[in-house]
Amino acid sequence: MQHPIYIKGISTVSALGSHPDDIWTNYLSQRSFLKSKEIDDIPTFVGELSNTDKERVEQLKQSDKLYAELDNSVLYAMLCGRDLILKAPLNTTDFGINVGSSRGATTLFENYHEQYIKSGQTSTLSSPTTTLGNISSWLAQDLQSKGPRFSHSITCSTAFHAILNGVAWLQAQMAEEFIVGGSEAPLTPFTIAQMRAMKIYAEVGQVKNPNYPNQALNLNKTRNSMILGEGSGLITLSKIQSEQNVGEIKGIGFGTETLKHSASISKDAACMQASMRMAIKQINPKDIDVVVCHAPGTVKGDQAEINAIKDVFGEHMPAVTSNKWQLGHTFGASGILSLEMALLMLKHQKFIGVPFIENQIQPKRIKNILVNAVGFGGNSVSILVSL
């Protein structure tokens, strides 16, 4: 890192809640917040927002007639944006915004497409309300940003690619502060049907442990157990050191690998090895205390990531954990939610493990945490954070 980059503030909304105290309490509870609901008349595990947060989203939606037409992926980001500004006020109106999404406006897109199939016509707003740039644009409007605003989609590592981009802008002296993150509202019939078609989604009738339907990091599982969750997460990146900062980014890394097919990952996750090695190149590997894994709950994906961690750290194996068994896989938003878990563990100096994993390594201290995100396309990003 050419210049220190600090995390000035963070705000998220997910199945774990939206208030930091509630989120930490729910992590400590060691219970899963995934539940079954009917989707396409099929019982389906999902990670939904709480009723309280759904009400907050609805209030936001009704607060402006223009917001009533927006997809939840946009509204979730706007909700986090307002919370973020209250927690950590910005020093300038020229701050940048880069908030991406893997799937974007899934609900609206499916509704508009159904409308078109039935009538041969669609709404005037079908195009502007389903573009991926829609998220950052509306967030910028709501926060009255005068700086650059843009979006991208790089599957499940989208939010972490936004961090890479924000860091680059700050390091290049092109901005003083940058809001980055990801937002996802994927609990729609067609989106879940896509995951079922890939045979990676947890099937309600075949789950062996209903208390923990997503078996992320259980390397003995024989069935895929990925479950989708909805949510959003934003952080403010800053070059200014302050006691109010919630963390510091000590290293960033990225990696890619050659694909065998569009959703493949090598047995030893070569892309993750590359991203982790790059992120920790200025620190002794034995000084990494915890790795927050991407670990979506798939058989091959979880094993590949652990293989990669073993290859990178050897005999200095850090403690490993994940949060997807609690809140589900939020696609493009998942990286920020994992980063939040890391920041909370640093703040409270307590490791949150996976309750159904026996003989987990326990960290002797919690000072440096590496967080991974990897997505379709053989791309990985790793972020090293500390207080």
Write the pLDDT tens digit of every residue in 11-27: 999 999 999 999 999 99
Q: Is the pLDDT of residue 161 over 70?
A: yes
Strand ranges in the chain using DSSP code E only, listed in sequence order: 5-13, 35-39, 42-46, 96-100, 149-150, 177-184, 231-238, 247-256, 290-292, 319-321, 368-375, 379-386
pLDDT number for residue 261:
63
- Determine the average pLDDT of the residues in 51-73: 97
Give pTM, 2 decimals: 0.97
DSSP characters for 237-264? EES---TT--EEEEEEEEEE---SSTT-
* Residue 296 in tokens: 């979506």
Strand ranges in 332-378 using DSSP code E only, listed in sequence order: 368-375
What proportion of the chain, given as a percentage, has pLDDT over 90?
94
pLDDT number for residue 265:
78
pLDDT number for residue 264:
61
Q: Count Cα atoms within 13 angstroms, Cβ side, for 42.
A: 15
* Residue 204 in tokens: 């309600």
* Residue 119 in tokens: 């009538």
**Which of 367, 306, 376, 304 shows the shortest CA–CA distance to 334?**
376
Are 202 and 192 in contact by the 8 Å Cβ rule? The answer is no
CA–CA separation, 80 vs 3, rounded Å? 27
Q: How many CB atoms lie within 10 A of CB 19?
A: 15
pLDDT tens figures, 255-298: 998 877 666 678 899 999 999 999 999 999 999 999 999 999 99
CA–CA separation, 126 vs 109, rounded Å? 7
Q: How many CB atoms lie within 10 A of CB 307?
A: 17
The conformation of residue 353, written as its DSSP 8-state character, comes to: -
Are 371 and 159 in contact by the 8 Å Cβ rule? The answer is no
pLDDT tens figures, 105-125: 999 999 999 999 999 999 999
Are 221 and 206 in contact by the 8 Å Cβ rule? The answer is no
CA–CA separation, 270 vs 380, rounded Å? 9
171, with CB counted inside 10 A (0-12, 13-18, 19+), is middle
CA–CA separation, 147 vs 128, rounded Å? 21
pLDDT number for residue 306:
97
**Which of 213, 371, 208, 372 shows the shortest CA–CA distance to 301?**
372
